[in-house]
Structure 1
Amino acid sequence: MEHARSATVVGVVGAGGGVGASTFAALLARRLSRGTATALVDLDPAAAGIDVVLGLEDADGARWPDLRGAGGDVPGADVLALLPRWGACAVLSADRTRPEPVDAGVRVDVLHALARTLGALVLDLGRGAVVEGDAPLPACDAVVVVARPDLRCVAGALALRPRLAASGAPHGLVVRGAGPAGLAAADLADATGLDVWHAGRDDRGLAARAERVGLGGRGPATRAAEAVARRLPAGGIGW
């Protein structure tokens, strides 16, 4: 069944662990929320929860386990009313204290509801789910692969590429920093066959700043999110 939707849906996935994909997804969602109603959705079952990244782990509001009964034709406004906020952005996170998986059908119905209600939806995807074909790539208007220019991310991006190509969604690399062996963003693009959507310096102080005062500022990661936001297509029809 297809559902008319208004949201621009953007998937974000890391080419490897520790490349900052969740941080980038959060900054992209925050940037989009300046212009339209936006939600950041945690779809990485291996992570501790995007709420931890944002400093919202103690904030009131629903997490995925609280929505287990939300199957069927879910009113998106009702879901939004339950979610914690990070500034103007709604956040649907996993719960580190309740790691049990949510039924795939419920997950799809909730995403349908949000996509019908919002202007933008940013999905923080698990790399394993993308490789295994369990991530909602066909629903995305664009997919961002966050990577560093190193051999580990070359291998990771190559593992993602068949699923990205099959999805039909535009996809590209956001490359952070320089590689330890002198590799650059162009080398990563040549090795993987993926276009570079943005390449910038590594924001080495980002993690420390986030611990102290939360994500924000005008560093390289924020500039990367702004660059990607400018090139996103408008939302489509169907899921």
Structure 2
Amino acid sequence: MTQVRRAAVVGVVGAAGGVGASTFAALLARRTSRTTSTVLVDLVRGGGGLDVVLGIEETSGARWPDLRGAGGDVHGEDVVGLLPRWGACAVLSADRERPDPVDAGVRVDVLHALSCTVGALVLDLDRGDVVDGHAPLPACDAVVVVARADLRCVAGVLALAPRLAAAGTGSGVVVLGRPPGGLSAADVASATGVPVWAAARRDRALAARAERAGPGGRGPAAGAAHAVVRRLGLTA
């Protein structure tokens, strides 16, 4: 039987390291999981694993290394059934204890199978893969670039912009935090030519909440995630 894609696919990438892109991807997935079946997918090379960010590293379930033999005719329902859960959201994470990369063909087959099964996929993209042209941008309906309002992130957005434009993927910036005397969200949009989809003040409690029990559902960053989900039409 021919599988028909129905998932909305949203990629999330940081304009620079340490801006909170993985946490924001988790907040987006939490929000979409309220209204549709959602899988949060870890595509960051060399990271510690999204399961650690979410506080579910001890939860049983399949990680990317467990799917190494899943190429070819993959059944998305079977994959989803194997994954650990973070609330209503299924999570396909890397494994910090098994860091060897999964074959690119397996990754493509698994992502395709998931996109034919669930309502939304949120992809935590590797910034290097986006810059090098190896990220699955054409599969994304939208890409969110997470940035701070500073010159380093402006440069980072400018480096990502040609790849996003070449993929023909709708993209926007989410600005998290503004340093005293720093750039405004409007400054970031003007300097990069990429629209700002949401902006939030610094979420001082987010790191503490994430360390205790995964990214929380409240606060400025969660509000920005809600704004993006509404903009993309992914919420009722």
TM-score band, normalised by shorter chain: over 0.9
Alignment of structure 1 residues 193-208 onto 2, 5 Å: 193-208=193-208
Unaligned ranges ≥5, structure 1? 235-239
Mapped partners of 2:137, 2:128: distance in 1: 13
Matched with 2:108 is 108
Q: CA deviation at 1:181?
A: 4.5
Mapped partners of 1:100, 1:154: distance in 2: 32
Deviations 1:193-216 (A, max 9, x none): 100000111101111122224321
Matched with 2:225 is 225
Alignment of structure 1 residues 125-144 onto 2, 5 Å: 125-144=125-144
Matched with 1:38 is 38
Matched, 1:120 2:100: no
In structure 1, the residue corresponding to 2:144 is in which secondary structure?
A: strand
Matched with 1:237 is none
In structure 1, the residue corresponding to 2:116 is in which secondary structure?
A: helix
Q: Contact 1:147–1:153 at 8 Å: present in 2 too?
A: yes
Deviations 1:90-121 (A, max 9, x none): 00000000010100000000000000000000
Q: Give the partner amino acid of 2:207.
A: A
Unaligned ranges ≥5, structure 2? none
Matched, 1:91 2:128: no
Q: Contact 1:8–1:233 at 8 Å: present in 2 too?
A: no
Matched with 1:72 is 72
In structure 2, the residue corresponding to 1:11 is in which secondary structure?
A: strand
Alignment of structure 1 residues 54-73 onto 2, 5 Å: 54-73=54-73
RMSD: 1.3
Deviations 1:175-225 (A, max 9, x none): 011135421111111111100000111101111122224321420011011
Mapped partners of 2:140, 2:59: distance in 1: 28
TM-score, normalised by the number of residues in structure 2: 0.96
TM-score, normalised by the number of residues in structure 1: 0.94
In structure 2, the residue corresponding to 1:149 is in which secondary structure?
A: coil
Matched with 1:50 is 50
In structure 2, the residue corresponding to 1:66 is in which secondary structure?
A: helix
Q: Contact 2:46–2:99 at 8 Å: present in 1 too?
A: no
In structure 1, the residue corresponding to 2:18 is in which secondary structure?
A: coil
Off by >3 Å, runs of 4+ in structure 1: none
* Percent sequence identity over aligned pairs: 73
Mapped partners of 1:179, 1:168: distance in 2: 32
Instruction: Give the count of matched residue pairs.
Output: 233
Q: Which moved more, 1:181-190 or 1:134-143?
A: 181-190
Q: Give the partner amino acid of 1:125.
A: L
Q: Contact 2:26–2:40 at 8 Å: present in 1 too?
A: yes
